[in-house]
Structures are given as C-alpha cells and as structure tokens.
C-alpha cells in the first residue's frame, strides 16, 4: 500500500511540475522574442538619429547585406560596416530623412542562438511625410549572450516577409 501511495504522490507531483516547465519555456521564449524586438527598435532609433556608433554595437561583423542585383555583400570589418551605414544614412539625409519606423513587424526564434525579424518599414522626412517604404528581413544571432544583427536584407515593400 505504501508503494502505491508513493507512486500516486510522484504522479501528482509530476502533474504540477509539467505546467510549470511548459510555462518556463514559454516565458523564456517570450523574453528572447522581446529582446530581439527591443534590439530592432533600438536599431531603428539609433539609425534615425544618425548614431552610427550605437548601430555598430547592435550588429555582428562580419555583416552581410543585400546589394541589389549584385546579390550579397559581406562587410568583413567594423570599418567597412560603418562606412556602408554612414554612406547610406548620408544619402537618405540628403532626401530630407528624419526617422524609420516599423509598420508591420514580427520576430521568430529559430533556435536558442538564431532569430529572424522583419516586415515593412517606413522612412519619414523631417516634415513628417513619407520618404519611402520597404521590406526588410534581418537574421540575428546571439553573441556572448547578446542578440546581434548578422544579415540585413532590404527589398521592395510588396515583397515584405510577414512573420506571425
């Protein structure tokens, strides 16, 4: 009889543990998704204000970007990545650029160390009008416990990758 009672106790205890374990995994996943979301918001905010040193802290070098019909370009040093960002930011600033905001955004964790983020974003001019819209997909990896952007793919809005 005591063996049966012990087995029942173990089964009852395991029923209490299982929901806690599932909740812990969900909470961890939610925390990681929130961390990626925050990084992407911080990234657009830093770029918008022209703070390239802050942008550089959010990316991982080597950094891969799309280059239109040329395909992908690997920026293998921090100086190359900084030059690429500065050139792009200077070009949009000449068009009256003020800020970038997500209008459709999602994050999906691919593993403990990889995530994909993206959707549609809008660039606004200093007068508040829209400069342009684009689709963007970003591949991120966790480096020393911190999420970093490793790949940036920009493309037309009509082709924007939708994440749930």
- DSSP letter for each residue of 115-164: EEEEEEEEEEETTS-EEEEEEEEEEEEEETTEEEEEEEEEEEGGGPPP--
Query: Under a CB-based contact definition with an 8 Å cutoff, are residues 111 and 103 in contact?
Result: no
**Mean pLDDT score of the chain:** 86
Query: Given a cut of 70, is residue 76 above it in pLDDT?
Result: yes
Q: Would you state the pLDDT for residue 35?
A: 97
pLDDT for 73 equals: 95
Give the single-character DSSP code of 96: T
Average pLDDT rounded to a whole number, residues 124-144: 96
pLDDT at 162: 82
Give pLDDT, residue 11: 35
Give the separation between CA 12 and CA 8, rounded to whole angstroms.
6
- Give the class (CATH, top level) of 33-159: alpha beta
φ, ψ (nearest 5 deg) of residue 151: -140, 135
Q: What is the DSSP letter of 94?
A: T
**Which sequence spans correspond to the domains of the chain?**
33-159
- CA nearest to 152, candidates 72, 57, 39, 65: 65
Asked whether residue 128 carries a pLDDT value surpassing 90, the answer given is: yes
Percent of the chain with pLDDT over 70: 83
pLDDT, residue 125, reads 98
Cα 53 from Cα 59, distance rounded (Å):
10
The residue that leads in pLDDT, 163 or 117, is: 117
- Using an 8 Å Cβ cutoff, are 104 and 160 in contact? yes
How confident is the model over 10-53, as pLDDT tens digits? 333 433 344 433 333 445 899 999 999 999 999 999 999 999 99
Listed ranges 4-13, 22-31, 54-63, 65-74; the one with the highest mean pLDDT:
54-63
What's the half-sphere exposure (Cβ side, CA atoms, 13 Å) at 29?
11
């Amino acid at each position: 009889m005591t063996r049966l009672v012990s087995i029942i106790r173990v089964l009852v205890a395991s029923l209490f543990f299982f929901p806690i374990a599932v909740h812990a995994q969900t909470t961890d996943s939610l925390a990681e998704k929130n961390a990626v979301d925050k990084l992407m918001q911080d990234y657009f905010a830093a770029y918008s204000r022209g703070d390239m040193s802050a942008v550089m802290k959010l990316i991982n070098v080597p950094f891969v970007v799309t280059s239109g019909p040329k395909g992908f370009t690997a920026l293998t040093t921090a100086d190359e990545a900084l030059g690429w960002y500065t050139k792009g930011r200077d070009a949009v600033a000449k068009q009256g650029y003020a800020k970038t905001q997500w209008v459709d955004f999602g994050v999906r964790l691919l593993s403990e160390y990889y995530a994909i983020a993206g959707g549609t974003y809008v660039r606004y001019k200093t007068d508040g009008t829209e400069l342009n819209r684009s689709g963007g997909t970003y591949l991120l990896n966790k480096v020393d416990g911190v999420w970093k952007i490793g790949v940036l793919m920009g493309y037309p809005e009509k082709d924007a990758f939708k994440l749930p």
